[in-house]
Homo-oligomer: A and B are copies of this chain.
Amino acid sequence: MSIQRVAIVGGTHGNEWTGIYLVKKFQNNPQSIQRSTVETTTLLANPKAIALNQRYVDRDLNRCFGQDDLNDTTLTGYENTQARTIATALGQTHTSKVDFIIDLHSSTANMGLTLLPASYHPFNLQLMAHLSEQNPDVRVCCGVQCNQDSPMLRSIVPLGCTIEVGAIAQGVLDAQRFQQTETLIHSILDYLDATNQQKIASTTHSSLMIYQSIESIDYPRNSMGELEAMIHPQLQGKDYEPLKAGDPMFLTFAGETIVYEERSIVFPVFINEAAYYEKGIAMTLTEKQHIKLSQTA
């Protein structure tokens, strides 16, 4: 497998500054993201939202890349139009454009350095295993939709990932996370270049630990849909830590604790993500899975 063209995308959400300012930095110094066998382009995906310092203008751009939506020309909102433009520019539906997409995001949840692969493609998973081994702080989280039918920007080509860093408030820069994300991007480019040159076999790793999303949990709400509780202080910031029966999940405004009641131990992520209140997501529960990797290229 040869990866010749990479796109680094920032500002898919206009108020997630880590990716926006990294892309601006790369645009000011394009040489830094080239490798001998890899040509890298950059893109600020949602310029109007970036200018407004908002997640989106009409609709979440990172939910506009499902094939049905891309094909539906009656959807004329800013983000739907922008998604079609981006899919045409980067996607592989026409002549091959890019082979690999890195989409840069940040979260108000304590996501640390999370990689969300675009697919379970063996090459992708080998890369994730390589990055996890190189930096033990890196975690791999697979969405419920981890394939090319997902509505995410990263899914327009089979190879690539979202980098989700946090906790970072919207509309700010966090220098430490900025530098860690930059390092991770360079590690990806180095790996792609090394595998292209067969300096690293893309079959090195035999297994990978992932956090597999199972379901999302909403906040307790009243019949009007209004919040009745907050993330419990004992769960706040505890992304990727085990949650077991009896552990506090929510604290109602009246001061009552709501506990987790299932038997299975889960690992919540995206706990208290600001952008997910409107999506009805207080957290996403994941399971830890060790997956066996194909060692035939």
Contacts and interface: CB of A to CB of B under 8 A. Distances in A.
A30 interface: no
A7 interface: no
A175 B227 contact: no
Max chain B Cβ within 10 angstroms of own Cβ: one of A175, A251, A275: A175
Interface in A144-197: 167-176, 178-179
Given A21-B227, A227-B21, A253-B21, A274 B172 contact: yes
A20 to B, nearest CB: 10
A105 to B, nearest CB: 14
Interface string A238-278: 00000000000001010100000000000000001111010
Contacts of A232: 175
Max chain B Cβ within 10 angstroms of own Cβ: one of A170, A230, A232, A255: A230
A185 to B, nearest CB: 14
Contact of A169 (B21, B167, B255): B167
Contacts of A169: 108, 167-170, 274
Contacts of A221: none
Contact of A170 (B167, B170, B176, B236): B170
Contacts of A273: 172
Contact of A25 (B170, B178, B253, B272): B253
A175 B108 contact: no
A231 interface: yes
A77 interface: no
A173 B231 contact: yes
Given A21-B227, A178-B230, A227-B21, A170 B171 contact: yes
A280 interface: no
26 contacts: A21-B230, A24-B253, A25-B253, A108-B169, A108-B171, A108-B172, A167-B169, A169-B169, A169-B170, A170-B171, A170-B274, A171-B274, A172-B274, A172-B277, A173-B227, A173-B230, A173-B231, A174-B230, A174-B231, A174-B236, A174-B272, A175-B230, A175-B233, A176-B236, A178-B230, A179-B233
